[in-house]
Structure 1
Amino acid sequence: MYKILLFFILIPLLIQAQFPDNTVHLKIGDKAPPLVLMGSDNSVQGFNFPLNDKVYLIHFWSSGYSLSKKFLPRLISLYQRYNNLPYRNIEGFDVITVAVQSDKIAWKQDIEQYNLSGITNLIAQRGFNDANIKNWGVNILPSTFLVNEQGIIVMINPTMLQIEQYLDEARNFPPNRKDLRARLLMNPNLSSGIPSHNVFLLNMFEDTLQKTKTNERGIFTFSEIKLLNDFIFRFDTTQNQIKYLKEIYLADANDVILPPVSKNSSRLFDFQFSGKDVQKFYASDRKANAIQFISKIKFKENTSTIDLSSLKELDKIKDIMEKQPDLVLEVICHTDSKLDDDKSFKLSQEQANA
């Protein structure tokens, strides 16, 4: 009799250990709870939201769950592209990862493997029983939250494209966009265009950005594409025109025929190209988006020597120009009205050239 009772007592305990009962259920519009956890530098770090007028991406994951680590490369890509951009009403974008696990060794190995050292990494060593994890209502991994500059949760488990759209709308200037055009060919001859064929534009993580179809001459166009570091043209191999081909050809926007494209290990025709090669596929010479970026650079009084307090602002502009090299920067300087016209004009030129 006692053995039977013991059996029925143990069963609920085992179930509870496998399925944590974190009764908090955060939803969009709720205030983000604080985080107080051990960081990768072995010190306790605390975060109360809102924090520094920034937008934060909070990602809960674990080394023991391979599926929860798939978002990490995307997370780093987001951080690298959006962390230092200027925004209208927020001070920036930052990322915090929270590993829900007891194994610190595996955690630190993953930080190194996934190049996470540039962002804030925390660990909840009590797992799902940690008070921080319960306060966030995290029951499954991965779990991701986007918190705005007011400390409010605005997205739960968003895709990378949804996060990009949110941040793009908050930027001080719109992202640079172009129309991309190419021609799908059966052989290295412009007259061999393959008509009515499905073409997909993917990013480096194989998210579909747009889908289009070739015209009667094999030409296809993707409209208003935000310029990224890497793109992939993917061609539908289930359609009869190329189903049995071993290789296909592409011509760029200037009808220059490129080297043949062979099927990859997944039996797909993928043409991958980087940001430096994307200009080959610009559909026109349409000017990049006009932007207005007001930045107050200070100079020492009546000189062209830049004040040290403005160096950080100049670094932001430098970073923008490096990330979007086709932008044209217009510099406008204003001098003290007390100077006469000739001196004022000369000083303005010197300050602009500084």
Structure 2
Amino acid sequence: MTRIVRITVTVFIVWMSVTGSDARAQGNSSLADIRLPTPEGDTLSLSEVSGKVILVDFWASWCGPCRNANRKLRKVYDTFKGRGFEIFSVSLDDNEKSWLKAIKKDKMEWLQVHDATGSGSKIATQWGVYALPTSFLLNKSGRIILMDPDERMLEQVLKEVLK
């Protein structure tokens, strides 16, 4: 039985990584890119990291479940970062100091951007983010292949799509 479930999940993952869900095809072309300031004060666009499997992660420093997820994401990132995987975290903190402190405390060594408009974020609304944390796994073509995966599912999908 376990083997059948594993085969079914693998087939589904491969199929989704090929067909996926194109954010642009959902009627809002702005979903394809996010352009926001980094902790260093530069501006980074999601489109600048294209060609990789990317987890777009919406979070905030005040969100307990987000902070818990950050610890789990660190483990996944350390495992897959050199294999074509990147995390693009979008903070919805309205307080920049809290955002920077959380990045340091949670040891978030992946890409970070900050939307200081917080809960009024236009980008979050465009992406359909109504609760935190919310994440979208994009394949190398920028298509959404998974939404809000837990740690185990994320690892399993990454093993398949990064082969």
* Same fold, TM-score > 0.5, yes or no: yes
Query: Which residue is equivalent to 2:12?
Result: none
Cα offsets for 1:119-155 (capped at 9, x unmatched): 1111110013222222111111110110100100000
| Large movers: runs of 4+ above 6 Å | none
Q: Does 1:99 align with 2:91?
A: yes
> Quick one: distance in 2 between partners of 1:142 and 1:60?
6
Q: Does 1:65 align with 2:63?
A: yes
Deviation at 1:47, TM superposition (A): 1.8
Query: Which residue is equivalent to 2:126?
Result: 135
Alignment of 1:154-165 (within 5 A): 154-165=145-156
3-state SS of the aligned residue for 2:32?
coil
Deviation at 1:54, TM superposition (A): 0.5
> Quick one: distance in 2 between partners of 1:154 and 1:136?
14
> Quick one: distance in 2 between partners of 1:48 and 1:135?
16
Identity of aligned residues (%): 23
Query: Which residue is equivalent to 1:83?
Result: 81
Cα offsets for 1:280-338 (capped at 9, x unmatched): xxxxxxxxxxxxxxxxxxxxxxxxxxxxxxxxxxxxxxxxxxxxxxxxxxxxxxxxxxx
Q: 5+ unaligned residues in a row in structure 2: which ranges? A: 1-19, 24-30
Cα offsets for 1:171-196 (capped at 9, x unmatched): 44xxxxxxxxxxxxxxxxxxxxxxxx
> Quick one: distance in 1 between partners of 2:43 and 2:98?
19
Task: Answer 1 or 2: higher relative contact order, Cα 8 Å, separation at least 6.
Answer: 2
Give yes or no for contact 1:30–1:152 (8 Å, CA) kept in 2.
yes
Q: Does 1:126 align with 2:117?
A: yes
> Quick one: distance in 2 between partners of 1:48 and 1:131?
18
Query: Which residue is equivalent to 1:40?
Result: 39
> Quick one: distance in 1 between partners of 2:146 and 2:82?
21
> Quick one: distance in 1 between partners of 2:53 and 2:38?
20
Deviation at 1:58, TM superposition (A): 1.1
3-state SS of the aligned residue for 1:71?
helix
> Quick one: distance in 2 between partners of 1:33 and 1:52?
10
Give yes or no for contact 2:36–2:115 (8 Å, CA) kept in 1.
yes
> Quick one: distance in 1 between partners of 2:103 and 2:152?
24
Give yes or no for contact 1:58–1:95 (8 Å, CA) kept in 2.
yes
Q: Does 1:112 align with 2:104?
A: yes
Query: Which residue is equivalent to 1:150?
Result: 141
Alignment RMSD, CA only? 1.6
Deviation at 1:65, TM superposition (A): 1.6
Deviation at 1:96, TM superposition (A): 1.0
Give yes or no for contact 1:36–1:45 (8 Å, CA) kept in 2.
yes
Deviation at 1:81, TM superposition (A): 0.5
Give yes or no for contact 1:72–1:114 (8 Å, CA) kept in 2.
yes
> Quick one: distance in 1 between partners of 2:129 and 2:162?
30
> Quick one: distance in 2 between partners of 1:132 and 1:33?
10
Give yes or no for contact 2:36–2:113 (8 Å, CA) kept in 1.
yes
Structure 1 pair 30–171 and aligned structure 2 pair: CA distance change class (3 A): closer
Give yes or no for contact 1:36–1:132 (8 Å, CA) kept in 2.
no
Deviation at 1:161, TM superposition (A): 1.1
